[in-house]
Structure formats: structure tokens, C-alpha cells
Amino acid sequence: MKTSSQPTRFHNLDTISEWTTEHADEIYQISRWGEGYFSVNDKGDLCINPTQTKNGPVINMMEIVEEMKNKNIAFPAVIRFHDILRSQVALLNKTFRGLIEEAKFTGSYYGVYPIKVNQMREVVEEIVDAGAPFNYGLEAGSKPELIAALAMNTNQNSLTVVNGYKDLDLLRLALLGNQLGRKVIVVIEKYTELLDIMKLSAEIGVEPMIGLRAKIATKSSGKWASSGGDYAKFGLTITEILQAVKYLKSIDKAHCLKLFHFHIGSQIPDIKTIKDSISEGARIYAKLYKEGAKLEYFDVGGGVGVNYDGTRSNSPSSVNYTTRDYVADVVYILKQVCDLEDVPHPNIVSESGRAITAHHSCVITNVFGALEIGSGPADNFNTDKAISENILVTNMRDLSTELTQKNYQDVYNDATKLKEESVSAFKFGILSLDERAKLETLYWRICKKIVAHAAQDEYAPDEILQLKNQMASQYMCNFSIFQSAPDTWAIGQILPALPIHKLNEKPTELCTLVDITCDSDGKLDNFLSADGPTNTVPMHKLNGDDYYIGLFMTGAYQDIMGDMHNCFGRLNEVHIFCDDDDPTDFYIEEVIFGNKASQVLSTLQYNPETMAQTLKASIDTQVKRGKIRPREGVHLTDFYESCLKSYTYLKK
């Protein structure tokens, strides 16, 4: 369930007299979560350095937006930077290769990408291609994923690791891979799977490659701590592992046992947890090897986290280590244990997915407007004193004139009490509707002044900080939280959110972001800042021009987990590749258009053609009755049918 961050200090923007792009970088923590891929140029536009190289191509995000507008590609849209994806694949593999050589480790590295993190064909295809020089393989955790992996991973030197619970068809698919000369390793999650695959193996006449997953005692922290430990969903106990080895020996198939595996969770925030798990796993591997299980691969699972909130800490939305830190611990701890136990160094397998995909994808949305308490028509509402007005209104007006920097806390307490009393008075018929409107208008004007006074204090009272959050503008963004960023709603995950232009101008509005769904949970009110998690994010005042906000690091899970909430469906998607010879340093390689209303409705078992015919019949009936003119009837029928064929999100 979503958890909200605690109220934090004000973004003290008023103390910044001369705004620079460096201030934008600090406010939005771009350099910290961006890992060298994101920066701000002198024009105030967010830029992407997809190769992380000093003199490499630099892509201006607003130039992408302009090209999309010229091509009539509507927002919101997913923008996918395939060069970032390729860069992350190369980084992980080169880091392992470099540290293996440095440590004089005699095994090799055979990483696999877990398809579940982002199953989109274009993503998997790019990862397989980028990983080909490193023999980088795939991991599948379901029957459809294995079907995809067998078609995508044709490199006979790379691994295909099969995790998750398995039925007989899934096991047959794995053995089909072995028949094709592929290195498909079936990881046993429960003991009966071992019996099933050995029986199938004998029937088909092909020997399997088997892995054993252990329930190790080391547990992670954060949101996925339950993935490890004695009560974990997957894996074998030490007793079951020994029984499995004994069984394979008894049927003279111990040589089929190839891999030892463990996994302690996703987004592991603390490097200490990684150190502990490698130490425990390495010891189990070494003891098993001495028991006669001549294992070739040591699979450390996934869990390498990313620095979502920019803090580089052990908070659930961050990590206190780098890729190099992680790899060094895997290599050096495993080497030390193996040397102490006098067993061979195994080949290392890791199943990092989030670290590979998170940065490469973002969602860009346009802002439709702002909702602000006490603004709009209320700004001009007449609150002048009237003859015989209720004393509650008079007292609220007096508080407004008495408010100062020194007494804003007392005034807030008194004003809140008066507002509560006014509601009771209205219910009993003592307060008129006009008087209630006056009192509420005065109250919100007082609250605005109180927030302004509190912003001058380094530490403001908690209730005033809460008031600041409640008074924040709500920027209406043209997308669905449930479709594009489900983790922000489901588990309180922080994702970087910021404007992609005007970053050379000081933002003046503290905002929360609300989507266009009809669900009150469709909002973002948990953001990163230099002071830690906060409920508001600074944005620029809307002036009628197009204003674009980016939600970043959505490439892991968010792309694939979105649902059909409110029938919005998938977003338009643009694939970007860098090109140093192009004036913009990029080109749009592919556009995948999002769902039309008819497609979403068909998915939900409606028949759009029947719906159109039904509505046309209703319009024709009204035409015959003289309620609608024939020409207008044709226009209304065409309008309904065009809506069925249109993008599900809002037009501006």
C-alpha cells in the first residue's frame, strides 16, 4: 500500500536571488539519479548523454518534443533511449570482466537479463544484440517468457536460465532448447520439479542442465525483504538440496547439475546485505562441490538497485553502492571462499534487470492546468463588512489584519478553530451561504499569507508544513499514474519528476501532480529533494504555453505493469537513437502508437462496431422525431466514430 513521505522543510527558493541551471540540478537532483546520462544545457532544457562519454552526442529533450509535434505524435508518450540500454549492458559486462581479470578469478561471467523487468520485444531485442559480444543471455520466469527467450536468445554460448514454478509443458520447452544446442538451465524451485524433468528427459532422450535454488538465511531490507529467508516463496531448503544431489547421484545424472542459485530480493538498498548473501551462498556452493556436485555456475540472482531518489543511501528508493562496488564484492568474496575451501572458481551468473533498464525510458506529459485552493473566482469574491454580519465572519477578518511574521502560528490556530465553528453554525442555519463563502475566502487568504511567512523560517511547525502541502497547487498532467507509474501508487516508489524545459528560470510554484483518471489516488505527492523525500515539487507558473513534465527511470517494470484503469491503455512510444552526424544528434528510429479507444474497449470485450451501430440507431430515431436535424445527426455519428478511432488520452 502506498505510503506518503513525512512533511519536510520548505524548498527555500526565495533565498536564491540569481537562478542558474546549477540550482535546477540541485533542486531536482539530476546529476545524482541521472548517473551521467542527464544534464541541463544553458537554454534550460533537459539533455541526454546516451553514451555517458565526455565528447559524445548530446540530445536536447525539447528537440525531441518538437519533432514529435511536427510528426503529430500526441502526448503523453514513452520516450525510449536505446543507446542508454546498450550502455548499461556494456557497463555491467565490462565491469565484471575487468574485476575478474583484476582479481585473477579463473571463472568467467555469463550474465542473463530477466525478461520480467521489461518484456517489450524492442527492449529484449536491443539487450540481446548489445550483449552478444559478452555472451549475455536471458532469464525467463514463465511459459510465455521462455517461449520468447527461445526465439530471441539464439547465441549458443550464452545462457537461458528458467526460474519460477514449472509445469510439464514449460519443462518440455526447456528441453527443446537443449535439443537445439542451447544452454538452457532449469532452476529447481521445488523438489517435485526435479523428478518431473528427469522423467521427461528420459522420455525425450536429451539430458537437462539443472540448477538448484537455495533458500538462504540472509534477508534483504526494503520493499522486497520477504523474497529471502526461510519463508521465501521460491527455493529449496539445505536439506532438500542435499536430497536432490543424492537423487541425481543415485540415477547417475549428477553431471546434469550445473548451477547453484539464490535470490534475496529486488532493489537491494544496502551493500552489506549483498556481502552477507554472497558469503553465505559461496560457502554453500563450496560445500556442495565437495559433496560431489561439480557445479559450473554460481548464480547470484538479481536485486542490484538504482538510485531513484538521488540520495545514494540505504533508503528503499536508493542504494549505497555503485555497480563497481557490487561486482567487486561478488568477485572477491566468492574467490576468497573458494580459495579457502580449495574448490574451483565457478562461472558467475547475475540476473540484473532494474539496473539495466531503469534509466532508458521516461514518460513525457503535457500539463493541462492547475488547481489551487482559494484561487480562481475566489480571488475576486467580495469580503467587505456587511451590516449585521455574523461575528464569526468579523473575527476571521480581524485575524487577517492581525497576521504578522511573529504570530502566524497563533493566527493559524485561531483561524482553523473559527472555520470549524463556521461549519457547525451553517449546519444549524445560523450562518448564511454568503457569510460562509466570505469566511472561507478570508480563511484561505490567511493560509496563503501564513505559508509565505513560514517559508522565511528555517524550521516551521509541523502543522504549517502540512498546511503548505495541502495548499500546494495541483498540476493536472495528461497521463495515468496507474498505467505509466504503478509503483508510485502501489508501493510508494519515488520516481524523478521535473520539467524538461525552463530549467534556467526559477520555479515559483510548489506542486503535487495529479493525473486525468477519476481516481483520487491518481496523483504524485512523494518527490525527491536535496533534503530527502518531500510532498511537493517546484514547478513554473503556467502562462498558457505548452508545459512539459518528465517522469524518469520508468524503464524497469513500469513499462510493462500498466493496466487498463479508466480505459486509457498504452501510451504512444518513440524510440530514439543517437547520431553524431545529425544536427540534433538523434533520430526517431521507430514510433509505436498507443491504444485507440476501440482497441481498449475490444480488450475489455466490447464490440466497437456494434456500439457505433447502436448509437447511430439512437441518433436516427431522434432525427425521425425531429429532435435532431439530419445534417447534425450525420455529424454526431461521425464524431462518435472518430472518438472510437482516437488516442485515449486528452487533446490540447
Q: Within a domain: residue 489?
A: no
Q: Tell me, what's the pLDDT at 8?
A: 41
pLDDT confidence tier of residue 367, bands split at 50, 70 and 90 = very high
pLDDT higher than threshold 80 for residue 243:
yes
Strand-pair partners of 78? 363, 573
Residue 132 lies in a domain: yes
Where does a domain end: 304, 320, 352?
A: 352
User: Has residue 503 been placed in a domain?
Assistant: no
CA distance 462 to 460: 6
* Number of compact structural domains in the chain: 2
Residue 10: pLDDT band with limits 50, 70, 90? very low
pLDDT at 475 over 90: yes
* CA dist 652 → 367, 369, 547, 592 (Å): 9, 11, 11, 21
Task: Give the Cα separation of 360 and 34 in Å (integer).
Answer: 10
Looking at the predicted structure, is the pLDDT value of residue 40 above 70?
yes
Q: Can the peptide bond before residue 583 be classed as cis, meaning omega within 30 degrees of 0?
A: no
Please give the average per-residue pLDDT across 452-457, as a whole number: 82
The CATH number assigned to the domain holding 158 equals 3.20.20.10
All residues at 6 or more sequence positions from 18 whose CB lies less than 8 Å from its CB, including other chains: none
pLDDT of 196 strictly over 90 = yes
Helices (H), 180-228: 191-204
Q: Averaged over 3-10, what is the pLDDT?
A: 43
Judging by beta carbons within 10 Å of its beta carbon (0-12, 13-18, 19+), is residue 627 exposed, middle or buried?
Answer: exposed
471-484 burial by CB neighbour count: b if 16+ within 10 A, else e? bbbbbbbbbbbbbb
Confidence grade of residue 304 (pLDDT, cut at 50, 70, 90):
very high
Range picked from 225-234, 319-328, 531-540 for highest mean pLDDT? 319-328
Per-residue pLDDT averaged across 461-485, rounded?
88
Q: What percent of the chain has pLDDT over 90?
A: 77
Per-residue pLDDT at 222 exceeds 70: no
The pLDDT of 473-492, averaged and rounded, is 91
Query: What is the per-residue DSSP string for 105-142?
Result: --S-B--EEEGGG---HHHHHHHHHHHGGGT-EEEE-S
pLDDT tens-digit series, residues 615-627: 999 999 999 999 9
How confident is the model over 77-121, as pLDDT tens digits? Answer: 999 999 999 999 999 999 999 999 999 999 999 999 999 999 999
Which of 304, 346, 336 has its CA nearest to residue 323? 304
The model's pLDDT over 343-361, given as tens digits with 9 standing for 90+, comes to 999 999 999 999 999 999 9
Is 167 within a domain? yes
75 has a pLDDT exceeding 90: yes
- Flag the least confident range among 296-310, 490-504, 562-576, 586-600: 562-576
**pLDDT confidence of residue 2:** 44
Residue finishing a domain among 352, 378, 411: 352
Examine residue 76 and say whether the peptide bond preceding it is cis (omega within 30 degrees of 0).
Answer: yes
- Give residue 311's pLDDT band: very low, low, confident or very high (50, 70, 90): confident
Q: What is the pLDDT of residue 9?
A: 44
- pLDDT at site 4: 44
Instruction: Look over the chain and give the mean of its residue pLDDT values, rounded to a whole number.
Output: 91
What is the model's pLDDT at position 6? Answer: 44
pLDDT digits (tens, 9 = 90+) for 161-184: 999 999 999 999 999 999 999 999
**What confidence tens digit (pLDDT) does each residue in 251-284 have?**
999 999 999 999 988 899 999 999 999 999 999 9
Q: Which residue, of 288, 319, 352, is where some domain finishes?
A: 352
31 pLDDT more than 50: yes
Residue 635 within a domain:
yes
pTM of the model: 0.90
Please report whether residue 414 resides in a domain. Answer: no
Look at residue 377 in the predicted model and tell me its pLDDT. 66
Lowest mean pLDDT among 457-461, 499-503, 571-575: 457-461
- State the average pLDDT over residues 330-335: 98
Q: Is residue 184 a part of any domain in this protein?
A: yes
Domain of 204? 105-352
| Across 23-37, 211-225, 242-256, 611-625, least confident range | 211-225
Q: Which residue has the cell 581479470?
A: 101
Say how many residues make up the chain. Answer: 652
- Pair 114, 141: CB distance under 8 Å: yes
pLDDT one-digit tens code per residue, 414-452: 999 999 999 999 999 999 999 999 999 999 999 989 988
Say how far apart CA 59 and CA 45 lie, in whole Å.
10
**Mean pLDDT, residues 16-28 taken together:** 90
pLDDT in tens, 42-72: 999 999 999 888 788 999 999 999 999 999 9
Residue 13 lies in a domain: no
- Cα angle 116-171-239, degrees, rounded to a multiple of 5: 90
Reported confidence tier of residue 310, pLDDT bands at 50, 70, 90: confident
With beta carbons less than 8 A apart as the criterion, state whether 425 and 390 touch: yes
